[in-house]
């Protein structure tokens, strides 16, 4: 299926800057694997960090490198893993056809896994009627319903997933589909044959300092103004996009319940927790070759490894 380079790791560790550097060296193009950067208008809080003039039709051109996967849907629309898989597979195929190296970069582990290994359940369609019926249920009610439908799946969930209504509803949706499908087999997904995984990591103190600095930078860049514009355009707090880190924390501020200082403090804490979850997810994948971004010469080591891999037939 061709070569695919993956740059992954926690937030604020420098994945995109490395990916751009490698793309310039190896004539590659980036495909973002970030579940929140797909939304139009969510720029500052999601860390697109690309100047507006870089935007082109369907992609961003930054330092001579094409970046795909930003601004795919409106902020009022839902976006699924299945939609990402369809987009990314097509884009990776086109990049290869143009004789370039596709570089999948981001921190959404599920997106990366779906492309590299395939996830059969992505073909199970959304059940909007079911979702509407489940929307008002408490998290505990959702978990108990899942336990009745699929006790094995319910038992496999970690503490975070058990408290996540969106993931619980999707699990119920999948379990319901399976019960109603009459034993229909899911499509077998052929995994990527030649993928190189580069993981970036940093000591906890350094990573947390970077996260705090990034939050402060996004505050100065105008995150409050960006959210104000989104709300005025008709985006609702209950839209999927507004559940993103850097956005949902501001809901009580706009309701007059929390101060700006309280929101920023909460935002930093939740970004740190998210980074911890990302690390936990990626550490389970033994294919990832890790590089500490504070160790001397780490970029040169990455470049040497990638060049060697890319040149092998």
User: Is 12 annotated among the ligand-binding residues?
Assistant: yes
Q: For the chain, give the DSSP string.
A: --EEEEEE-STTS-HHHHHHHHHHHHTEEEEE--SSTTBTT--TTTT----GGGB-SSSEEETTEEEESSS-B-TTS---HHHHHHHHHHHHHHHHHTT-EEEEEES-HHHHHHHHT--GGGGSPP-HHHHHHHTTS-HHHHHHHHHHH-HHHHHH--HHHHT-HHHHHHHHHHHHHHHHTTSPPPPPPPPPSEEEEEEEE--HHHHHHHHHHHHHHHHHHTHHHHHHHHHHTT--TTSGGGGSTTTGGGHHHHTTSS-HHHHHHHHHHHHHHHHHHHHHHHHT-TTPEEEETTSTTHHHHHHHHHHHHHH--
User: Is 13 annotated among the ligand-binding residues?
Assistant: yes
User: Is 222 annotated among the ligand-binding residues?
Assistant: no
User: Is 129 annotated among the ligand-binding residues?
Assistant: no
User: Is 182 annotated among the ligand-binding residues?
Assistant: no
User: Is 269 annotated among the ligand-binding residues?
Assistant: no
User: Is 15 annotated among the ligand-binding residues?
Assistant: yes
User: Is 228 annotated among the ligand-binding residues?
Assistant: no
Which residues are documented as binding site? 9-16
- Give the residue numbers of the binding site for substrate: 11-16
Residues placed in the known binding site for ATP: 9-16
């Amino acid at each position: 299926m061709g070569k695919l380079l993956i740059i992954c790791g926690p937030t604020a560790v420098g994945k995109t800057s490395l990916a751009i550097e490698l793309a310039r060296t190896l004539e590659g193009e980036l495909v973002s694997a970030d579940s929140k950067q797909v939304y139009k208008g969510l720029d500052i809080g999601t860390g697109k960090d690309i100047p507006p003039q870089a935007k082109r039709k369907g992609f961003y051109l930054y330092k001579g490198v094409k970046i795909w996967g930003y601004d795919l849907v409106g902020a009022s629309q839902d976006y699924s893993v299945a939609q990402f898989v369809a987009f990314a597979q097509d884009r990776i195929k086109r990049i290869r056809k143009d004789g370039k190296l596709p570089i999948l970069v981001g921190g959404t582990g599920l997106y990366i896994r779906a492309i590299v290994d395939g996830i059969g359940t992505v073909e199970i369609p959304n059940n909007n009627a079911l979702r509407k019926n489940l929307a008002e249920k408490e998290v505990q009610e959702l978990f108990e319903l899942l336990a009745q439908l699929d006790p094995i799946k319910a038992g496999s969930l970690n503490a975070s997933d058990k408290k996540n209504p969106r993931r619980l509803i999707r699990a119920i949706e999948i379990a319901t589909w399976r019960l109603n499908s009459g034993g229909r087999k899911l499509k077998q997904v052929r995994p990527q044959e030649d993928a190189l995984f580069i993981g970036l990591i940093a000591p906890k103190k350094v990573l947390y300092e970077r996260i705090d600095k990034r939050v402060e930078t996004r505050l100065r860049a105008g995150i409050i103004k960006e959210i104000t514009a989104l709300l005025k355009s008709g985006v609702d707090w209950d839209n999927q996009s507004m559940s993103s880190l850097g956005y949902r924390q501001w809901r009580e501020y706009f309701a007059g319940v929390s101060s700006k200082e309280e929101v920023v403090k909460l935002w930093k804490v939740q970004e740190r927790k998210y980074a911890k979850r990302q690390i936990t997810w990626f550490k389970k994948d033994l294919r990832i070759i890790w590089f500490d971004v504070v160790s001397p010469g780490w970029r040169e080591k990455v470049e040497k490894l990638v060049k060697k891999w890319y040149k092998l037939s």
